[in-house]
Amino acid sequence: MMNSADASDASDAFGGADREQAARTNTSANSSNRPYLLLTPGPLTTSETVKAAMLRDWCTWDNDYNGLVQSIRSRLVHLATNTPERYTAVLMQGSGTFCVESVIGSVIPRDGKLLVLTNGAYGKRIAQMASVYGIATTVLDFGETEQVRAADLKQRLQEEGDITHVAIVHCETTTGMLNPIADVAAIAKVHGKTVIVDAMSSFGGIPLDVHELQIDYLISSANKCIQGVPGFGFIIARTEALAGCAGQARSLSLDLYDQWSAMEAGGGKWRFTSPTHVVRAFDQALRELEQEGGVAARYQRYTANQELLVNGMRQLGVYPLLQSKVQSPFITAFYYPQSERFSFEELYARLKAAGFVIYPGKISAADTFRIGNIGEVYREDIAKLLQIIEDECFW
Ligand SMILES: *Cc1c(COP(=O)(O)O)cnc(C)c1O
C-alpha cells in the first residue's frame, strides 16, 4: 500500500541522473502498467510515480487536501509568470474543453463581442462555444495550414470596434502549429481588448510569461505538458480582470468567477466534488517538472524529440505538413506517404503491436496522421519508433 509520503520519497529519490534512468525504465513499453507508449497529444504517457500518487483516497474538505490545492494554484501562477502578484489560478473540473468553456461563458459581458482567430479545430471549437451561449462572435479564419497573422487582426479590430475580447489557440493541436501569441496579444492590447489564450497543449512545455505577453486568461489542462492524468484543467487569470466577472456566467457549474471566489474564500475548497486522485497526481507531476529542470528543460527535451522524429521520418520518405518555423515541439502532422499501398489503419495496428500508439490526422485539406512526443517520452523511444517504422515499412 503506497501512501502519499511513499510517493514523495520515491520521487525524491529520482534526483538527477537517477531520475532520468528511472524514467527510462518507466518508459519501457513492456511495463505491465503500460502496454504501449502514447505518442498522442494527451492523455499521454505519465511516469509510474505520477500514477502511484493516486493510490490514496482524500477527503475534499480536509485541510491537508485544501492546502495541496492552494499550493498547486500558487505553483501554477509561478510557472506562468515572474509577476505572480498580478495573477491567480483557478482549477476547474472536466477536460480542457470544459475549462475553455468556463472562460468563454464567464468573462464576456452580455454586451461583449468575441473575436476568435482560427486555424484548426480547437479555434473553431471556441467559436462554437460562444455560439451555444449566444455571445456575439466574429471569426478570423486562416485555413488549416497558415499561421494566424497579427496584421489581419489589426485590420479586423479597426473594422469592428465593438469587439471586446480576442481568443487564440497557442499550439493548434490539429496540425501542431504554433501561433504568434505575443504579436496578437500586443495588438489586441493596443486596442484595449481582453486576451484569452488556449494554451492547452503548450503550457508547461514552452517558456512563456503571461504578464509580459499581456494575457488576461490562459487555459491549460492536467494531462498535457505538465504530464498529469486527465480530470481537470486550470485557468491562469489576471486577478483584476477576473474580479470584474461576477454574475456574468451563462452556466452554473462552469462559472469561473464563482469557482475562483469559492476557492479563495474556502482556502482551496472546490465548489463541487473535485477529482482528488487526479489533483494528487498533478501535484506529483509538478514536482517532476521541477526535478527535470523546469519548463526550459522540458522544452529542450520535447524539441530534441521532435527534431529527431522529423529528421528520421524524412529519411523514410514521410514529410511533415508544416514548415519547421511554425512547427511546435509537441505534435507533428505528417503527410501520408505517396504510395497506393499506404494505409493509416495498417500503420497504426503495426505500431500498436510494437508498443506505440499514434494519432490520426484532423484536417480536410490533406491526408495526414500525427505523432506526439510529449509525456514520458525520451530520445531512445523516438529512435525505437523510427526503427520499427523502418522495419515494418509496408508501402
Ligand atoms: C487538448 C486540447 C483541448 C482540450 O481538449 P479536451 O479533449 O477537452 O481535453 C483544447 N485545446 C487544445 C489546443 C488542445 O490541444
**How are beta strands 331-335 and 232-238 bridged, if at all?**
unpaired
Task: For residue 97, give the nearest of 188, 182, 207, 173 by alpha carbon.
Answer: 173
Q: Which residues on neighbouring strands pair with residue 113, listed in sequence order?
A: 136
Pairwise CA distance, residues 344 & 339, whole Å: 12
Q: Which residues on neighbouring strands pair with residue 140, listed in sequence order?
A: 117
> In this predicted model, what pLDDT tens digit does every residue of 240-290 receive, in sequence order?
999 999 999 999 999 999 999 999 999 999 999 999 999 999 999 999 999
Determine the residue of 175, 198, 225, 330 to mutate for testing ligand 1's pocket, defined as the one with the most ligand atoms within 8 A of the Cβ atom. Answer: 198
State the closest ligand 1 atom to the C-alpha of 42, by its place in the atom list counted from 1: 1
DSSP code string of 169-225: ESEETTTTEEP-HHHHHHHHHHTT-EEEEE-TTTBTTB---HHHHT-SEEEEETTST
CA of residue 239 to ligand 1 center, whole Å: 24
Summarize the confidence of residues 84-111 as an average pLDDT.
98
CA of residue 96 to ligand 1 center, whole Å: 5
State the closest ligand 1 atom to the C-alpha of 169, by its place in the atom list counted from 1: 13
Position 35 scores a pLDDT of: 81
Residue 272 burial by CB count (10 A; 0-12/13-18/19+): exposed, middle or buried?
exposed
Determine the residue of 173, 217, 229, 234 to mutate for testing ligand 1's pocket, defined as the one with the most ligand atoms within 8 A of the Cβ atom. Answer: 173
Q: Which residues on neighbouring strands pair with residue 166, listed in sequence order?
A: 115, 195
- Whether the Cβ atoms of residue 305 and residue 329 lie closer than 8 Å to each other: yes
Summarize the confidence of residues 299-309 as an average pLDDT.
98
Determine the residue of 38, 168, 169, 200 to mutate for testing ligand 1's pocket, defined as the one with the most ligand atoms within 8 A of the Cβ atom. Answer: 200
Position 8 scores a pLDDT of: 39
Q: Is 80 left (phi over 0), alpha (psi -120 to 50) or beta?
A: alpha
**Least-confidence region, from 11-15, 149-153, 254-258, 276-280:** 11-15
> In this predicted model, what pLDDT tens digit does every residue of 333-391 receive, in sequence order?
999 999 999 999 999 999 999 999 999 998 988 999 999 999 999 999 999 999 999 99
Summarize the confidence of residues 26-35 as an average pLDDT.
52
Helix ranges restricted to H, 224-315:
239-243, 256-265, 276-292, 294-315
Q: How far apart, in Å, are the Cα atoms of 74 and each of 108, 221, 228?
A: 25, 16, 17
Please give the single-letter amino acid code of residue 95: S
Pairwise CA distance, residues 228 & 286, whole Å: 8
Summarize the confidence of residues 328-333 as an average pLDDT.
98
Which residue ranges have their beta carbon within 6 Å of ligand 1? 41-42, 95-97, 100, 122, 169, 173, 198, 200-201, 221
Tell me: pLDDT of 2 over 80: no
CA of residue 337 to ligand 1 center, whole Å: 27
